[in-house]
Structures are given as C-alpha cells and as structure tokens.
C-alpha cells in the first residue's frame, strides 16, 4: 500500500513539474521561431517607387524612395495606394529608411552621412543631422533612434542630437546577421528586412537575438523583375494591428500579421498564453490528486512505525 501511495505521489509531483515548466527558447536550443505571414489586405503600390522605408503617422503612410536622381518622400493613402503628396530631394542624395520623431520625418541617406528632417505636414526640409558611415534603416523606439548601416550592428542614437549612445550586435541562432535594412520599432522588438532575402526578422532590442523570422517568399515570387526589386519596407499600423510591407518597384503592398505556426497566441514577452492556462489547470488537478490519495491511503493503512532494517545493503 505504501509503495502504491509513493507511486501516486511521485506521479503527481512529475505532473506538477511538467505543468510548471515554462515553454521558452531553451527548449528549442535558443533558435528563432519561424512564423507565418497572413495577408489581411492588399492595395496597389506605385511600381515606380524604389521603396526604402515605410512609416504610419496620423493615419497616413509615409514612404521614402531611393536611387540617385529619383529619391524622395511621399504620403500614401492606404485605402487605395494613391499618392497624396510628394517631394523630391537633391539628386546627390540616395534616400534610405525613415522614421517619425516629434511630428517630423527623419530620412537617412545612403553614403552622404546626412539625415534629412522633414515637416510631416508639408514635407518641407526643416533640418538635418550628420553621422559617419552608411545609412540604411531607422526607427524610433520611444527612447532612441535605432539605425542600421548594412552590417550586423544596430546603433542607438539620441533623438534630439543624433549622438551615438550604444550599439548591439544582431545574431540569428548564434550567427551574425548582416545587410539589415529597413527597420520598424514595436515595443521591445526591432523588425528588419534583410536585404536580398525574402525575410523579415524580429530582433530583441536588448540582446540583439532574433526572436522570430517570417518569410515573404510567396509574395515576392509574384513581384519584381530584377535582382534589385526586393522585399523592403515595414510599417506597424496600430489602428489595424498589422504591418504594411512591400518591396522596391512592387505593384502591391500588403497589410499582414506574423502568426505563430502552432496557432498559439504569443504575448509581447514571448510567453505562450495558452500554455500558461493549461499549466494552471494541471496544477489544480495534481494538487487535488495528491491531497485525495494522501488522505484515503492514510485511512486505509495500518498505524505502525517503520519496520526494523535488515542487514546493511550499502546505502549507508
């Protein structure tokens, strides 16, 4: 009887330990999760736009375009993809990524070491910042401007002065990720296009680790006719709880979500809510089982002390 009780007790403890174990990256070898892209809406996109950056502000989609002599900034209507207004920049600049700070649009340039600052209302240039190296993508996380330069490093800069604060090295399953391009800051994550790849990665802004990736190959295979016309552009639309994405010279842009392939809902911290609910239920069941069998077995068992030990079996 005591042996049976011990078996039940150990089984309950094992169940408790399983239910209380969180599902985290260590169970998958710290590998990045692979998510699916679900398309919510598709709208036309100007195929003449060599897209470098996207940003939603006050319900308007801002888009920067690149190439020498063709770079500029425009406002786009997300209901039909039409261009509301646009401006061109000096032909010596190659426009790159954009972000919003204090009602202004900040646009990087590729090799000029200059970030142009535009008024978000009339798109007039109201200032500029200087920096060293190349400019690729940029986003604002609420505290810092985060900037990519084509390497695996992301630099964090003061939004008022553009002065360097610190940097992180981005790794994907332990390997450096280079050619980080257009950026979008959402909470603690930094989403990035990887130039010449049909993939978007979500980067932990503290560790630099890629937490998940999503392939847009099924979209890009129907877009672009040259090697340069690749996936590029990410803008989080809080009103729609989705991301606008497109590519250079693509004919369409898409409102999408990045969904877990196992169907479970993930919180911003990455913990799986469904798993936690199941664990709580198992915890209650296991606790009741331990209490029930302990009480019942104690009533059925005779009241005696431990039997005398036999010869020493080596257990000490």
**Mean pLDDT to the nearest integer, 191-202:** 96
Is the model's pLDDT at 19 over the cut of 70?
Answer: no
Question: Over the stretch 121-139, which tens digit does the pLDDT of each residue have?
Answer: 999 999 999 999 999 999 9
Please report the DSSP string for 256-278 in residue order: EEEEETT---B-TT--BHHHHHH
Is the model's pLDDT at 300 over the cut of 60?
Answer: no
Is the model's pLDDT at 235 over the cut of 80?
Answer: yes
Question: At residue 4, what are phi and psi to the nearest 5 degrees?
Answer: -65, -40
Please report the DSSP string for 200-253 in residue order: EEEEETTT-BEEEEEE-HHHHTTS-SSTT--EEEEEEETTTTEEEEEETT-SEE
**Mean pLDDT to the nearest integer, 23-52:** 82
Lowest mean pLDDT among 62-76, 180-194, 271-285: 271-285
Let me know if residue 77 belongs to a domain: yes
The total domain count for the chain is 1
Query: Side by side, which strands form the sheet with 231-237?
Result: 180-186, 189-194, 199-204, 210-215, 33-44, 252-260, 242-247, 231-237
Q: Which residues pair with 171 in a beta bridge?
A: 176, 209
Let me know if residue 236 belongs to a domain: yes
> Are the C-beta atoms of 237 and 78 separated by less than 8 Å?
yes
Let me know if residue 286 belongs to a domain: no
Instruction: Label residue 67 by pLDDT band (50, 70, 90).
Output: very high
CATH number at residue 140: 2.130.10.10
Specify the pLDDT at position 263.
Answer: 57
Whole-model pTM? 0.75
Query: Side by side, which strands form the sheet with 164-169?
Result: 138-140, 145-148, 153-157, 164-169
Question: At residue 136, what are phi and psi to the nearest 5 degrees?
Answer: -120, -75
Lowest mean pLDDT among 104-113, 179-188, 270-279: 270-279
Instruction: Label residue 225 by pLDDT band (50, 70, 90).
Output: confident
Is the model's pLDDT at 183 over the cut of 70?
Answer: yes
**Mean pLDDT to the nearest integer, 278-302:** 43
**Mean pLDDT to the nearest integer, 239-261:** 96
CA distance 161 to 299: 76
Specify the pLDDT at position 5.
Answer: 42
Lowest mean pLDDT among 26-40, 212-226, 285-299: 285-299
Let me know if residue 18 belongs to a domain: no
Is the model's pLDDT at 229 over the cut of 90?
Answer: yes
Let me know if residue 265 belongs to a domain: no
Please say whether the dihedral angle defined by the alpha carbons of residues 258, 259, 260 and 266, taken in this order, is positive or negative: positive
Let me know if residue 85 belongs to a domain: yes
CA distance 38 to 77: 21
Question: At residue 68, what are phi and psi to the nearest 5 degrees?
Answer: -65, 130
**Mean pLDDT to the nearest integer, 77-92:** 97
Let me know if residue 22 belongs to a domain: no
> What does R_g of the chain's alpha carbons equal in angstroms?
28
Mean pLDDT of the chain: 82
| CA 49 to chain CA mean position, Å | 25
Let me know if residue 312 belongs to a domain: no
> Are the C-beta atoms of 283 and 19 separated by less than 8 Å?
yes
**Mean pLDDT to the nearest integer, 64-88:** 98
Nearest in space to 57 (alpha carbons), one of 109, 116, 87, 98: 98
Note down the domain range covering 161. Answer: 32-260
Instruction: Label residue 30 by pLDDT band (50, 70, 90).
Output: low
Q: How far apart are the first and last CA of the chain?
A: 25
Percent of the chain with pLDDT over 70: 73
């Amino acid at each position: 009887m005591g042996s049976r009780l011990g078996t039940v007790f150990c089984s309950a403890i094992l169940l408790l330990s399983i239910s209380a174990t969180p599902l985290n990256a260590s169970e998958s070898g710290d590998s990045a999760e692979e998510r699916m892209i679900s398309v919510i809406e598709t709208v036309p996109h100007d195929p003449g736009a060599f897209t470098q950056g996207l940003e939603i502000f006050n319900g308007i989609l801002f888009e920067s375009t690149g190439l020498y002599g063709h770079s500029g900034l425009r406002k786009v209507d997300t209901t039909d993809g039409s261009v509301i207004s646009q401006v061109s920049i000096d032909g010596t600049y190659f426009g790159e990524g954009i972000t919003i700070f204090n009602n202004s649009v900040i646009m990087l340039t590729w090799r000029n070491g200059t970030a142009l600052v535009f008024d978000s209302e009339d798109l007039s240039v109201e200032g500029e910042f200087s920096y060293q190296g190349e400019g690729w993508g940029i986003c604002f996380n609420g505290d810092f401007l985060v900037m990519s330069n084509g390497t695996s490093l992301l630099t964090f800069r003061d939004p008022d002065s553009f002065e360097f604060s610190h940097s992180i090295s981005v790794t994907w399953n332990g390997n450096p990720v280079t050619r980080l391009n257009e950026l979008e800051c959402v909470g603690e994550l930094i989403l990035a296009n990887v130039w010449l790849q049909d993939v978007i990665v979500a980067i932990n802004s503290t560790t630099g680790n890629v937490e998940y990736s999503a392939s847009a190959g099924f979209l890009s295979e129907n877009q672009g006719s040259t090697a340069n016309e690749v996936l590029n552009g990410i803008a989080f639309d809080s009103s729609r709880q989705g991301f606008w994405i497109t590519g250079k010279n693509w004919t369409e842009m898409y409102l999408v979500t990045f969904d877990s392939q196992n169907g479970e809902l993930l919180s911003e911290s990455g913990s799986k809510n469904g798993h936690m609910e199941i664990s709580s239920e198992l915890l209650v069941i296991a606790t009741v089982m331990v209490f029930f069998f302990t009480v019942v077995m104690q009533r059925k068992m005779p009241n005696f002390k431990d039997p005398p030990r036999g010869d020493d079996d080596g257990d000490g």
